[in-house]
């Protein structure tokens, strides 16, 4: 028992030492998967937030206050997310936390409600997120909104026999369920469905089995490795159309010849060229989709903070939540509006052609 005490006290002392705070900085949190299989996307998300915050701080901060973001790694796991959430909420007293991935966001939602902390998701798209908590706001539409649009479009094009390729995790399954619901509503039929594992890049068995059902179009609901999927599809000599959602927007896929003709809905979020160039100069990589999404979300949060400070109101989760809906309309990288907890944003239908993602139809997510 003596060893127990000794080590126990050591641990507590170290953790306590970490919890002292500075003045004149406004702190927000971000709980993202920074290691493990989700880290690729998580790192993009972190850079988007960092980029926006560093730009704001370089320009003098928000009303002279430096903004600081406390990043927590949850490895896309719910229990780590809860620990991180409580740590940020109780020890750092942050009023707002960026989140990503459906599982962790859903796990944190009840805590956000209870503690009145604004949870901002700019990455996950499961339908349940729309109603999980009044304090959870989504800056991009749910997967269901996108799938309604693509289903109607495909039915209009006469492609009514479909097969679904989905990732066997929360995000992929949400997409599959929505295809099963909305594609028949638009007049189509689902012939077959096949899962793949997240992180696995061997799509051949699933593609072959789907091809055996002889569909006119394959509806895709995978969040990673779209390039490998398209290459294997080409190599197998398959000839049905491929359609999907924003998940398919991956610059390496668009640039690859195997993507020719892929149709997908796209949450419009363009970075001005000079901004993208500045980002590339800073981080050495392209400003990809999730970078732009989290940059955009951070700008919304900074706008909310700015307005609260202008009006001399305290910065709490509750005040930020209320102010977000008071302002309602934001102009970040894209115009977006909060009528509900899920923003209404412009939604395009794109087709990949000659190494470019070409918009063929513009609409809105509602």
Partner 1 sequence: MLALQLLCNGIVTGCALGIVAVSFSLVYATTKIFHVAHAGVYTMSGYVAWSLLRHGFPAPIAFVGAIAAATALGALIQGVLYARLERRRATHLVVLIASLGTLAVIQNILAAVFTANILQFELPWGSQVFHLGGNVRLTMTQLLTVLVNVAAYGGVMWFSHGTILGKQIRAVASNPFLAEIVRLQPRRVHIYVMAIASALVCLPGILVPLDFGLQPYNGVTPLLTATIAMIAGGVGSITGAFVLAIVITELQNMSLLFIPGEWSIGVTFFIFVVFMLFRPTGLFAAAR
Partner 2 sequence: MDFWFSYIALASIYVLLGLSTNLLVGIAGIFSVSQAAVFGVGAYIVAFFLMNETMSFLPALAIAALCCIALNILVTLPALRVSGDYFVVTSFGIQLLATAVFTNWTDGTGGANGLPGIPPPDLAGKALESSGEVVSLCVAGMGLGCLIFWLVMRAPFGRLLRAIREDELAVAAAGKSVLRAKVSAAALAGAFAGTAGGLYATFLSFIDPSSFDLDSSILLLTMVVVGGARTLAGSILGPFLLLALPQILTLVDIPTTVAAAARQLIYGVLLIAFMLFRPQGLAGEKL
List 211, 217, 271, 302, residue binding partner 1 (CB under 8 A): 211
List 97, 153, 154, 169, residue binding partner 2 (CB under 8 A): 169
* Contact (Cβ atoms closer than 8 angstroms) between residue 146 and residue 347: yes
* Contact (Cβ atoms closer than 8 angstroms) between residue 210 and residue 194: yes
Please identify, among the stretches 36-44, 58-66, 141-149, 241-249, the one whose residues bind partner 2 according to the rule CB under 8 A. 36-44
Please tell me what DSSP assigns to residue 91. I
Q: Binding to partner 2 by residue 102, rule CB under 8 A?
A: yes
Please tell me what DSSP assigns to residue 309. H
Beta strands in the chain (DSSP E): 25-32, 66-73, 96-99, 118-121, 136-138, 161-167, 189-196, 217-221, 241-244, 263-267, 329-331, 335-337, 346-353, 356-364
Q: Binding to partner 1 by residue 180, rule CB under 8 A?
A: no
Q: Binding to partner 2 by residue 142, rule CB under 8 A?
A: no
List 86, 189, 235, 331, residue binding partner 1 (CB under 8 A): 235
Q: How far is the CB of 198 from partner 2 (least distance, A)?
A: 9
* Contact (Cβ atoms closer than 8 angstroms) between residue 346 and residue 332: no
Q: Is the dihedral of CA 281, 284, 286, 290 positive or negative?
A: negative
Q: Binding to partner 1 by residue 214, rule CB under 8 A?
A: no
Please identify, among the stretches 9-17, 145-153, 200-208, 263-271, the one whose residues bind partner 1 according to the rule CB under 8 A. 200-208
- d(CA 218, CA 175) in angstroms, rounded, equals 13
From residue 159 to residue 178, the character string flagging contacts with partner 1 as x (rule: CB under 8 A) and all else as - is: ---------x----------
Q: Binding to partner 1 by residue 344, rule CB under 8 A?
A: no
208 binds, among partner 1, partner 2, none (CB under 5 to 8 A by kind): partner 1
Please identify, among the stretches 42-50, 58-66, 142-150, 200-208, the one whose residues bind partner 2 according to the rule CB under 8 A. 42-50
- d(CA 283, CA 20) in angstroms, rounded, equals 30
Taking the least distance from each CB to partner 1, the nearer of 237 and 312 is 237
Q: How far is the CB of 121 from partner 2 (least distance, A)?
A: 15
Q: Binding to partner 1 by residue 355, rule CB under 8 A?
A: no
List 40, 110, 184, 346, residue binding partner 2 (CB under 8 A): 110
How many other C-beta atoms lie within 10 A of the C-beta of residue 261?
A: 12
Taking the least distance from each CB to partner 1, the nearer of 178 and 194 is 194
Q: Binding to partner 2 by residue 83, rule CB under 8 A?
A: yes
Unique residue bearing structure tokens 């993009």: 44
Q: Whose CA is closest to 173, among 148, 197, 205, 140?
A: 197
Burial class (CB in 10 A: 0-12, 13-18, 19+), 346: middle
Q: What are phi and psi of 182, to 5 degrees?
A: -90, -25
- The residues that touch partner 2, with contacts defined as CB under 8 A, are 1, 3-4, 7-8, 11, 14-15, 17-18, 34-35, 39, 42-43, 46-47, 50, 71-73, 76-80, 82-83, 86-87, 89-91, 102-103, 106-107, 109-110, 115, 126, 128, 132, 168-170, 172-174, 283
């Amino acid at each position: 028992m003596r060893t127990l005490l000794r080590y126990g006290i050591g641990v507590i002392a170290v953790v306590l030492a970490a919890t002292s705070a500075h003045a004149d900085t406004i702190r927000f949190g971000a709980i993202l998967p920074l290691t493990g299989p989700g880290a690729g996307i998580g790192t993009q998300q972190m850079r988007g937030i960092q980029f926006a915050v560093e730009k704001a701080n370089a320009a003098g901060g928000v009303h002279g206050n430096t903004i600081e973001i406390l990043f927590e790694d949850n490895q896309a796991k719910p229990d780590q997310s809860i620990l991180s959430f409580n740590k940020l909420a109780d020890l750092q007293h942050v009023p707002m936390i960026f989140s990503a991935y459906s599982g962790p966001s859903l796990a944190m939602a009840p805590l956000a409600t209870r503690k009145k902390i604004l949870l901002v998701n700019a990455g996950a798209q499961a339908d349940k997120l729309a109603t999980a908590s009044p304090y959870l706001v989504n800056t991009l539409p749910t997967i269901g909104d996108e799938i309604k649009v693509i289903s109607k479009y495909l039915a209009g094009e006469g492609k009514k026999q479909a097969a679904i390729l989905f990732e066997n995790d929360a995000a992929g399954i949400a997409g599959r369920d929505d295809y099963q619901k909305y594609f028949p509503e638009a007049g189509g039929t689902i012939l077959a469905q096949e899962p793949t594992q997240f992180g696995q890049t061997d799509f051949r068995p699933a593609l072959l089995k789907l091809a055996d059902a002889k569909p006119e179009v394959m509806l895709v609901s995978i969040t990673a490795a779209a390039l490998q999927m398209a290459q294997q599809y080409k190599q197998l000599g398959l000839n049905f159309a491929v359609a999907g959602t924003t998940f398919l927007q991956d610059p390496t896929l668009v640039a690859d010849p195997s993507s020719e003709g892929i149709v997908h809905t796209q949450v419009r979020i363009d970075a001005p060229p000079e901004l993208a160039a500045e980002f590339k100069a800073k981080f050495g990589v392209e400003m990809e989709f999730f970078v732009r999404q989290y940059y955009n979300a951070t700008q919304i949060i900074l706008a909310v903070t700015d307005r609260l400070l202008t009006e001399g109101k305290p910065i709490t989760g509750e005040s930020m939540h209320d102010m977000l809906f008071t302002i309602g309309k934001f102009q970040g990288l894209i115009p977006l509006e909060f009528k509900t907890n899920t923003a209404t944003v412009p939604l395009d239908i794109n087709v990949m052609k000659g190494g470019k993602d070409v918009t063929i139809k513009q609409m809105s997510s509602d």
